[in-house]
Structure 1
Amino acid sequence: MVLTLPPGDFRAYLFDCDGTIVDSMPLHHRAWCAVLDEWGCEFPEELFYAWGGRPVADIVADLNERQGLAMPVELVMRRQEEHYQRGLPEVTAVPEVLAHIEDAHGRLPFAVVSGGSRESVTVSLSALGLLDRFETLVCAGDYTRPKPDPEGYLLAARRLGVAPADCLVFEDTDLGVQAATAAGMAAVRVPQPWQRAEV
């Protein structure tokens, strides 16, 4: 399938990472399930995708509250990242997004805006040989209010020196699209893995 962009004379592309550049969401879900199983915690796939774009610490806290658990947030975060990184050799780029990266690289500046840690974003992009394509990475810890707040996208635009209205955002989640819209940016929705498989 072809990812059709909205009309506009854009001066920068801003990308979410997981599920947008990197086809990593199935791998992330498997990593979550492997770790959470230690505490008898369930994280159904439907809920996992519904919570896409949320910071990992918030996900652990909400799972604790919903299921009456007391999982240690930092430990779960670390183990989830370890499980994910072990599976990185099998991860690939989202082809429809990669095509736009290849087409616009060198003409437009790129940024990543992710709710993931800098370590996770860096290892994912490095595994695909794409890290050097991005002028800046905006990751968890670089901003205080997660998506759907526009803070991360506005910070990326400032770092690139491009007005928000001149940025195009690539996102795979509702929260991400809401954040882009709140930032005054156009957005293109990247289909989820099963939606891409249907075409």
Structure 2
Amino acid sequence: MPSPSYAAFLFDMDGTLITSTVAAERVWTRWAARHGLDAAAFVPTIHGVRAADTIRRQNLPGIDVEAEAAWVERGEIEDLEGVAPIAGAIDFVRRLPPDRWAVVTSATVPLATARMRAAGVEPPAVLITAEDVARGKPDPAGYRLAAERLGVAAADCLVFEDAEAGIAAGEAAGCDVRIVTAAWTHPLETTHPTLADYGDLRLEVRPDGSLELGS
């Protein structure tokens, strides 16, 4: 059976192109302690979701959500220890035509820029961040916007994700989804194809510019 081809690849950032999970969990553990939350139960819920949305979900009385999100953002920008590219990711995206891939992240522009710089990943021409959408993942708005800016249909795109919220967003956008497991600290069950990293992936750019993925 021939491999499917895609108009574009849409990548989540944290845990998908770069390993930032441990750094993020350090900051969110500190935040949880400040507010008396059970970090062991809380921290696994932060992944793939905008910081403000995560904080809002806690329903803490008298909290300034934007101020708390800014506190988390500062901490994450300052704590870049261990942030690195997923194996093979830099070479893989360098082989993609610039107009055929995008990053869709729940991070803000300053945090996304800091983490990609720390990992040595060159930001793509299309970078969708927390500021670009009214509703973050699991809402599909980010992936739909990325496809629109690339000039392709979302249904013709392949999403690379690692977290439940992002997987749900890719599904809701009508995209195929492939799961990157390299940075998992909290494994999840999925029916989607998985890959440990990008080291053994085969990429073919067809004459019409479409992308075919193999292993």
Sort the Cα spacing of 1:70 and 1:37 in 2 relative to 1 into closer, same or farther, 3 A: farther
Please say if residues 109 and 135 of structure 1, whose CA atoms lie closer than 8 Å, have aligned partners that are also in contact. no
1:28 lines up with 2:27 in the alignment: no
% same residue:
31
Q: Aligned to 1:90, which of 75, 82, 91?
A: 82
1:156 lines up with 2:138 in the alignment: no
- Other structure's SS at 2:174 match: coil
The 2-side partners of 1:21 and 1:61 are apart by 27
Please say if residues 109 and 160 of structure 1, whose CA atoms lie closer than 8 Å, have aligned partners that are also in contact. yes
Q: Give how far 1:70 is off.
A: 3.5
Task: Report the TM-score when normalising by structure 1.
Answer: 0.81
- Other structure's SS at 1:85 match: helix
- Partner residue of 2:50? 55
Q: What are the equivalent positions in structure 2 for 1:122-161 lying under 5 Å apart?
A: 122-132=113-123, 134-161=124-151
- Other structure's SS at 2:85 match: coil
1:14 lines up with 2:6 in the alignment: no
Structure 1 gaps of 5+ residues are 1-5
- Partner residue of 2:71? 79
- Bigger mean CA deviation after superposition, 52-61 or 82-91: 82-91
- Partner residue of 1:185? 175
Q: Which has the higher strand share?
A: 2
Task: Report the TM-score when normalising by structure 2.
Answer: 0.76
Q: Name the Cα RMSD after superposition.
A: 2.3
- Bigger mean CA deviation after superposition, 119-128 or 91-100: 91-100
- Partner residue of 1:3? none
- Other structure's SS at 1:111 match: strand
Sort the Cα spacing of 1:107 and 1:56 in 2 relative to 1 into closer, same or farther, 3 A: closer
Q: Give how far 1:49 is off.
A: 2.6
Sort the Cα spacing of 1:174 and 1:89 in 2 relative to 1 into closer, same or farther, 3 A: closer
Q: Which has the higher helix share?
A: 1
1:114 corresponds to which letter in structure 2? T
Structure 2 gaps of 5+ residues are 188-195, 197-215
Q: Give how far 1:158 is off.
A: 0.6
Deviations 1:84-124 (A, max 9, x none): 2222153111215445324x333762211112211111111
The 2-side partners of 1:179 and 1:38 are apart by 30
1:52 corresponds to which letter in structure 2? H
- Partner residue of 2:106? 115
The number of aligned residues is: 185
1:184 corresponds to which letter in structure 2? G
Deviations 1:23-64 (A, max 9, x none): 1111111011223323333332x543344222211211222x
- Partner residue of 1:40? 36
